[in-house]
Structures are given as structure tokens and as C-alpha cells.
Structure 1
Amino acid sequence: MGIKPRLETAFERLLFQSRWLMAPFYAGLALALLMLLAVFLRDLFYYVPKAFMMAPGAGLSSNDAILAVLTLVDLSLAGNLLLIVMFSGYENFVSKLDLDGEADRPPWMGTVDFSGLKMKLIASIVAISGIQLLKTFMNIGKTGYELNQVEAMWGVIIHLTFVASGVLLALMDWLTSKTDKH
């Protein structure tokens, strides 16, 4: 029996077309990117005037400026992560982006596979976690800031767990790439 039954062919086409059910997820991530932009701009407009206040004690200290910049970098990393997930996920699981003639197309688009996406995701999470941890430690000794040792300890443990997960994922990808059958 070399001819597929029509029911099987129709079912396989339905399964293949169901990939488009992921498209609203990527549209939602685009809205989440807009949300991150709003938070970034709110924080930027909050910190910029404070940076230029000349009255003693009114402006940002150097530590406060560093924390403000880290906050903005954190939001930027989260935005980059969203872009990578949106573009790579859409191209890997839904459809290729038809951007012929687009000069600004990033070179990584269309080349990040699921494994690469996974590594970029964990690297971004580690960076974001590290920034959050650095913020916690930079606030130590500030007036009005009470260090919660349990929170700090769990922050370090969680960060190290993310780092270890990234290393293990990279090791698994490396081992998989060394085998003929994967």
C-alpha cells in the first residue's frame, strides 16, 4: 500500500498549518517589547533630570548613576532577548521572514536555530540575573536600604543555578554535535 490515505494526508496538512497558531504569541511578544520600551523611557526620564541636579544631595551619586545605568542596560538586554525569541522563534517554527532587499536585516536572522536560541536565552538570563545581583550588592551600606541576607543568599544561589544551567546546556549541545545521530 504505497499511497497514503486521504485522511492521513489531510491530518498532516492540518498539523503543518497549526504552526500558525504560534503567530499570536509572537505578536504578543512585540507588545511586550512595547511595554519594555515604555518602562525604559519612564526610567530614563526619571533619572536624566536627577543626573543634572546641582544642589548638594539632590542629584545622583556615582553609585546611584551606576545603578540607574544598570537598570537601563537590564531593560535593554530584556528587549534584545525578546527580539531574538520573536525573530528566531517565528522563523524556526512558523514561517521565514520575507524581507528581500531589507538592508538592515541583522546577519544572525535566519541562522539562529533552536540550540542557538536556547544558548542566547540562557546567556541573557545570566546577564540579567547578574545585573540584579550587582544592584543588590551596590545598595549595601546605603542609608534607608536594609540588606535582606536571605534574599541576597537566594539571589546568589539562583544566579549560580542559571550559570550552571548554561554551562550544562552548552555541554549537552557540544556532546550532541559530536555524535553522528542527533
Structure 2
Amino acid sequence: MEKLIERIILLSRWIMAPFYLGLVIALAVLLYKFGVELLHFVTHAGQFDESDTILGLLALVDLTFTGSLVIIVIFSGYENFVAKIDGSGHADWPEWMTKVDFAGLKQKLLASIVAISAIALLKAFMNLDRGVDEKQLMWLVIIHVVFVLSGVVLAWTDRLSEKSH
């Protein structure tokens, strides 16, 4: 009975596989949104002032960071929770993909979230002359500081746990 329960529990990890496939589809949707944003940016570039140009670039960078975040979750999550990925047959296989453990995944996720938050905050600062709501700006700053502090605390606790092992 114990062996059967352990086998069922071990096989249950495959329930996560459709989640990662769903994230691949979501990444394709993000690519579509990136294409729409890029097309808008390129076709209206002549009408943009310096601020609009920077905001357009920040929107593209924001979407790129989000895509990178999704890739990190897909590969690291699948590798850590479902099955090992054999990258030996691929010459262009990124080395980090098979080396990110759960602690590394948490750090990469939080670093990406901090970067995305920083871009949102920078966009708001770029729009100050256009009447950005001060209350909204205050909340963006608070949220960003919370993300940064969370990242510092996470890195510190991971470092402490490494020393204890």
C-alpha cells in the first residue's frame, strides 16, 4: 500500500505539465502584444517627443522582462517539479536552465518582478508632466520598495540557510 501511495504521489507531479504548456501559450500571447506594441511604436515614432519615445521603449522592455520571467518559470519550474530536461543534444542550450534550483528560481523571479516594478515606476515618473495622480505614484513607490526589501530579505535568508548547511 505504501509503495502504491508513493507511486501515485510521484506521478502526480505530471499534473503540473499542462500548467507549463499553458505558460508557453501565454508567452505566445505576450509575443503578439509585443508585436502590436512594436508596430505602434515604429509607425508613430515620427510623432513622438523624447518622453513618448522613452515611454515606448520602456513598454517594450517591460514586455521583454515579462517574457523572460515566464521563460524562467517554465524551464526552472518544469525542471524542479516535473522532470529533468536533457539539454546535452542542443549546442545552444543555455547553461543556467539546468542549474536553477528552487532558491535560485525564487531569486530570479523576485529580481524580474523588481525590474518590472522599476519600469512601471519609471513610466510614472516620465508622465509627471502629464498629470500623474500623486496617490498612484506614492503607491507605485511603496510597492517597489516592498519588492526591493523582499528581495534583500529573501537573498539574506537564502544565504543564512546555505551557511547552516
Q: 1:156 aligns with which of 138, 141, 154?
A: 141
TM-score of the superposed pair, with normalisation by structure 1: 0.89
In the TM superposition, what is the alpha-carbon distance from 1:178 to its structure 2 partner?
0.6
* 1:41-92 CA-partner distances (Å, limit 9, x unpaired): 00000010111x3xxxxx1111111110010000000000100110000011
* Partners of 2:69 and 2:90 in 1: CA distance: 22
Q: Distance in 2 between matches of 1:16 and 1:44?
A: 44
In percent, how many aligned pairs have the same letter? 53
User: Who is 1:29 aligned against?
Assistant: 23
| Residues 1-38 of structure 1, C-alpha deviations (whole Å, 9 max, x = no match) | xxxxxx00011001000000000110011011011101
- 1:99 Cα deviation from its structure 2 partner: 3.4
2:23 maps to amino acid: L
Q: Who is 1:13 aligned against? A: 7
Higher helix share: 2
1:141 match: secondary structure: helix
Write the distance in 2 (CA, Å) between the matches of 1:124 and 1:22. Answer: 22
Matches within 5 A, 1:19-168: 19-51=13-45, 53=46, 59-142=47-130, 146-168=131-153
Separation in 1, partners of 2:145, 2:118: 9
Moved over 4 A (4+): none
Partner of 1:4: none
Aligned equivalents of 1:75 and 1:147: distance in 2? 22
Look up the SS of the partner of 2:96 in the other structure. coil
Q: Match of 1:177, as an amino acid?
A: E
**Alignment partner of 2:97: what SS?**
coil
In 1, the alpha carbon distance for the partners of 2:132 and 2:97 equals 43
Aligned-partner residue type, residue 155 of structure 1: L
Cα RMSD (Å): 0.8
Provide the residue aligned with 2:160 in structure 1: 175
TM-score (norm 2): 0.97
Which structure 1 segments of 5+ residues have no match? 1-6, 54-58
